[in-house]
Structure 1
Amino acid sequence: MSFRKITIKSGNEEFTMNATEEEYLKYYRPWWQMKKKEQRNREAMEQNGYTEESYEEWKENDMRTEFFSESMEELAEKRMLLDVLRDAMDSLLPEERELAMKVFGEEMSVYEYARVTGGNRRTLDFRKNKVMEKLRHFFRERGIDV
């Protein structure tokens, strides 16, 4: 078993440790590749006249835009669709709502739901199809094509 001596620097601290070749390839090398990619990006930005501080700010802003890239129109549309979905779920009977929440929302199979509730799988599958038809009809009445 061969060992590699690796040095990890973080701020003012430096750690040296022995790692097997397998550990190095599995853990350290991908981390090192990510750091090298960031360094190349930073160097490319600095060649275009940006400073290291502006690169860090750009990277932080880029990460923010990934999370908050939705416009107000998209958010309003999602809110409207969620309101319609809530109204659709309220239009169902309590046992139909529970079936829909478990099978569609929690992605539980009809077989599992039948086992948990003690019902017949075929009967519950038939009810699931009826609930789907009710929901489709509800959405079509509201002008939402499904």
Structure 2
Amino acid sequence: MSEKIIRIKSGNEETTMNVTEEEYLKYYRPWWQMKKKEQRNREAMEQNGYTEESYEEWKENDMRTELFAESMEELVEKRMLLGVLQDAMDSLLPEERELAMKVFGEEMQVSEFAKSKNESRTTVSSRKQRVLEKLRLFFEDRGFDVHK
């Protein structure tokens, strides 16, 4: 496995670290992409006449609006749906749950999951279809409208 050297700067501090390719792809690259997106947003707003301070204020207000925009009914409904989802995951066998968490939750590719388990992609793909069918039946039994 190859190693990458990354530089992390925070204010006046700068650190150099050696990380594996896997660590880089899993942690540092998404973080770096998020930082670049924020930088592009800030630069675009500054081109339109906003200052960096007004961008930070806008970002903070936008996040605050998202946090408090939901009504109590929406929060109760979300909590109930999360409970049903937890029950659905608990109804799966441990290996099925792991497959669902990785492929559906973490959006890991089936081929990548199969490789990590030393199994063929087609085997994992057919297992994924069985898990989907199990979950579909679970939700239909509880009155949810699930499309194939």
Q: Normalising TM by the smaller chain, what interval?
A: 0.5 to 0.7
Q: Could you say which residue in structure 1 is the equivalent of 2:99? A: 99
Structure 2 counterpart of 1:34, one-letter code: Y
Cα drift, residue 120 of structure 1: 1.1
Q: Could you say which residue in structure 2 is the equivalent of 1:73? A: 73
Q: 1:70 to 1:118 in 2, by over 3 A?
A: same
After superposition, give the CA deviation of every residue in 1:116-135 in whole Å (9 maximum; x if it has no partner): 11011101100000000000
Q: Could you say which residue in structure 2 is the equivalent of 1:34? A: 50
After superposition, give the CA deviation of every residue in 1:32-74 in whole Å (9 maximum; x if it has no partner): 6124xx7xxxxxxxxxxxxxxxxx9xxx877633321000000
The aligned runs of 1:1-146 (5 Å cut-off) are 30-31=45-46, 33-35=49-51, 64-146=64-146
Cα drift, residue 145 of structure 1: 1.4
After superposition, give the CA deviation of every residue in 1:88-124 in whole Å (9 maximum; x if it has no partner): 0000000000000000000001000011110111011
Cα drift, residue 30 of structure 1: 4.2
Cα drift, residue 29 of structure 1: 7.7
- Secondary structure of 1:96's match? helix
Q: Could you say which residue in structure 2 is the equivalent of 1:9? A: none
Distance 1:83 1:127 in 2: 24
**Larger Cα Rg: Structure 1 or Structure 2?**
1
Distance 1:133 1:112 in 2: 22
Query: How many correspondences in the alignment?
Result: 99
Q: 1:69 to 1:109 in 2, by over 3 A?
A: same
Runs of 5+ consecutive residues of structure 1 not aligned to the other structure: 1-26, 39-55
After superposition, the CA RMSD in angstroms is 2.6
Task: Using structure 2 for the length normalisation, give the TM-score.
Answer: 0.59
Distance 2:129 2:43 in 1: 51
Distance 2:50 2:128 in 1: 47
Distance 2:44 2:134 in 1: 54
